[in-house]
Amino acid sequence: MKKLALILVVVLLVAGALVSWADKKVYLGVAIRTLANPYHASVLDGAKMFAASLPAGSVEVQALLCEGSDEKQINDIKAFVAAHGKDCVIYLDANQAPDAAEVARICEEAGVYWTSVWSMADGVTPPDYKYYVMHQSPDDQKSGYLISKELFATFKTPGKGKILAVQGMLANSAAINRFKGLQKALAEYPGVQLMDNQAGDWDPKKALTITETWLSKYKDLDGIWVANDGMAMAVIQALKAKGLNGKVKVVGVDGIDDAVNAIKAGDMAASVGSNPWLQGGFGLAYPYAAYKGKIDTKKMTVAERMFYTPGVLITGKTVADYEAKYVKSKPKFNYNDLKSAVESPMPAPKS
């Protein structure tokens, strides 16, 4: 009888432990810059869309906002991991690329699955780690190239004109690659002159100041190339103050609502929708699947762990369709189909 009671206790303890593990809440950390940026706000929306696809109460989304500070981003992630241990996963949009190296170290030591978007640290890639599940990004060079060509097409003499360029944060991979796209387009269009370029650091206030200074110096401009839509809105504000909006066309990247409206109004020539809802949702779906044992990073190919996600070019001709699909409604995703987030693999990392 005593043996039976002991066995029953052991069974109950094991069952309780299993239930306890199964019922553990998983914390979904979304490390982004600021919710003042509509793109990042949409990323957080995407994270919440993924959370809503899971059993009620099983996960909790927490936004880790660095507000442009590398130190704050790293410290917030350390505190998040310390608070939740292995029962958390992380989506990282590194404030600057080198930050991803420190996050890789923190998560590998703590056994926390995570993913990155846009920026990777030099020499730090998912295939080198167990817990660094994947890296995703729209093809930034392609985006920078496509908006450049659309901008050049708006000139009085298509393919001939004078432009200025507001870059992003110079140590940020997205900024670097988007500007490479502009440089590629300029090489193909020798009739387009880049008069000046400056780093706006993803800061609309800085972009506004840069543009105001430029407009007092440069005349007969045809366009201003901008590395993201948030800064592009500030550029348009400066142009409006001089009565130049619509005359000097602007392009950006991200496909935020304000950019959509600016394209409809004729103040912008183009943007590329980065689909932040997809990024935020699948950026958590991947490490969550690894946490649950549904995928094994050791068995995944490089192409499955480093890939480009689909972007959407928005122009005057396509803006109505984009608005219907991404502004007036939110895209829907099947988070069980992880491959549906992949447009094409990234080049394999150099050994």
What's the pLDDT band for 71 if we cut at 50, 70, 90? very high
Residue 351 has pLDDT above 60, yes or no: no
Residues 168 and 120 in one domain: no
Residues 258 and 293 in one domain: no
In a domain, 316, yes or no: no
Residue 206 has pLDDT above 90, yes or no: yes
**Hey, which residues does 199 pair with through a beta bridge?**
167
Residue 322 has pLDDT above 80, yes or no: yes
Residues 125 and 160 in one domain: no
Range of the domain at 260: 141-273
In a domain, 98, yes or no: yes
- 37: its two tokens: 């940026």
State what percent of residues in the chain have pLDDT above 90: 83
**Are residues 287 and 89 in contact, defined by beta-carbon separation less than 8 angstroms?**
yes
Higher pLDDT, 285 or 6: 285
Residues 49 and 104 in one domain: yes
- Torsion sign across C-alpha atoms 269, 274, 276, 277: positive
What's the pLDDT band for 252 if we cut at 50, 70, 90? very high
State the average pLDDT over residues 180-185: 98
Residue 64 has pLDDT above 90, yes or no: yes
State the average pLDDT over residues 51-67: 97
Residues 29 and 102 in one domain: yes
Residues 99 and 109 in one domain: yes
- 81: its two tokens: 């991991």
In a domain, 10, yes or no: no
State the average pLDDT over residues 93-103: 94
pLDDT at 82: 98
In a domain, 11, yes or no: no
pLDDT at 330: 84
Residues 264 and 287 in one domain: no
Least confident of 93-102, 246-255, 322-331: 322-331
Environment class of 15 (CB within 10 Å of its CB; exposed 0-12, middle 13-18, buried 19+): exposed
Q: In the chain, how many domains are there? A: 2
pLDDT at 16: 45
Residues 254 and 148 in one domain: yes
Residues 265 and 162 in one domain: yes
pLDDT at 68: 92
Residues 264 and 242 in one domain: yes
Residue 7 has pLDDT above 90, yes or no: no
- Residue 195: CB partners within 8 Å, gap ≥ 6? 162, 163, 164, 218, 221
Q: What is the CATH number of the domain that holds 259?
A: 3.40.50.2300
What's the pLDDT band for 119 if we cut at 50, 70, 90? confident
